[in-house]
């Protein structure tokens, strides 16, 4: 990964759009199709222009995010971010924002998983809201796990999940790289905060792996990851705590032939 290690907050707003961002890291390979669907871009696409990433029928709409305001009424889960995604099918998107730009590309690449994730987050938030509450309750371990997956998740596809999971559980440096290099696993980045960090040349704040059984019926690794992530998210027995996700070094996910996977 290129660039100096700098806090993401320090560079996020100052970084101009770079139409060549895909060339900054081979780890961008899952997003390549969605990014190319946008066509030539000399600046950040608007919310409406971002709809091109789907290359056809879209599962949601990107809409311009309204300015944040102090809440004066009771919290209504239906009007929160996850509620709007789940109920209205809209994704509030900030203008000229690398984070939200990458989120749009991830939506186009992993639509099933993103839909499942925001639906589960909406249910989890709504179930914990007290009547007439004006503030959100403290985050639960489940919500922490889902947020970690959304921002920093990496799907590890393998035919031998027990072996790979055991290797990652040791937290030994290089464990993931060994399985990827041997062809025993494919690492597919899902978290849009990781992609934002790659675009800005900043070390990702966190990368957390979830091991998924490789489904040979899927046409490619991206479809496999999307379907597998959706299944895991929809399983209420999984992702109950961040401890279920294994911290990894993003560089260990890199494949020499990533573009061909």
Tell me if 187 is assigned to some domain: yes
Task: Please report whether residue 175 resides in a domain.
Answer: yes
Query: Which structural domain, as residue segments, surrounds residue 193?
Result: 8-260
The answer to the question of residue 1 being in a domain is no
What's the rounded mean pLDDT across residues 1-13? 53
Name the token pair of 170.
């040791």
Residue-level pLDDT at 193? 96
Mean confidence (pLDDT) of the chain: 91
Within a domain: residue 228? yes
Domain-located, residue 2: no
Q: Tell me how many domains the chain contains.
A: 1
What does the pLDDT look like over 191-219, one tens digit per residue?
Answer: 999 999 999 988 888 899 999 999 988 99
Q: Is residue 108 part of a domain?
A: yes
Q: pTM for the complete prediction? A: 0.92
Percent of the chain residues topping a pLDDT of 90 = 83
**pLDDT confidence tier of residue 11, bands split at 50, 70 and 90:** low
The verdict on residue 207 lying in a domain is yes
Residue 173 is assigned to a structural domain of this protein: yes
């Amino acid at each position: 990964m290129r660039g100096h290690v700098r806090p993401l907050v320090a560079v996020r707003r100052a970084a101009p759009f770079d139409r060549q961002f895909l060339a900054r890291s081979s780890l961008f390979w899952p997003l390549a199709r969605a990014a190319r669907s946008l066509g030539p871009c000399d600046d950040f696409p608007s919310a409406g222009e971002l709809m091109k990433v789907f290359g056809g029928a879209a599962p949601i709409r990107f809409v311009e995010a309204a300015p944040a305001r102090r809440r004066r009424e009771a919290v209504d889960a239906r009007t929160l971010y996850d509620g709007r995604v789940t109920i209205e099918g809209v994704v509030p998107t900030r203008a000229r924002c690398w984070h939200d730009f990458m989120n749009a590309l991830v939506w186009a690449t992993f639509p099933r998983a993103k839909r499942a994730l925001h639906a589960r987050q909406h249910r989890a938030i709504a179930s914990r809201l007290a009547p007439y509450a004006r503030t959100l309750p403290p985050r639960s371990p489940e919500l922490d796990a889902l947020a970690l997956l959304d921002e920093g998740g990496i799907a590890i596809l393998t035919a031998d999940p027990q072996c790979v999971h055991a290797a990652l559980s040791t937290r030994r440096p290089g464990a993931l790289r060994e399985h990827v290099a041997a062809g025993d696993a494919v690492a597919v980045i899902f978290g849009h905060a990781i992609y934002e960090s790659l675009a800005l040349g900043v070390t990702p704040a966190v990368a957390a792996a979830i091991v998924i059984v490789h489904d040979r019926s899927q046409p490619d690794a991206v479809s496999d990851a999307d379907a597998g992530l959706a299944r895991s998210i929809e399983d209420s027995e999984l992702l109950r705590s961040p401890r279920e996700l294994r911290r990894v070094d993003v560089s260990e996910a890199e494949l020499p032939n990533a573009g061909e996977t």
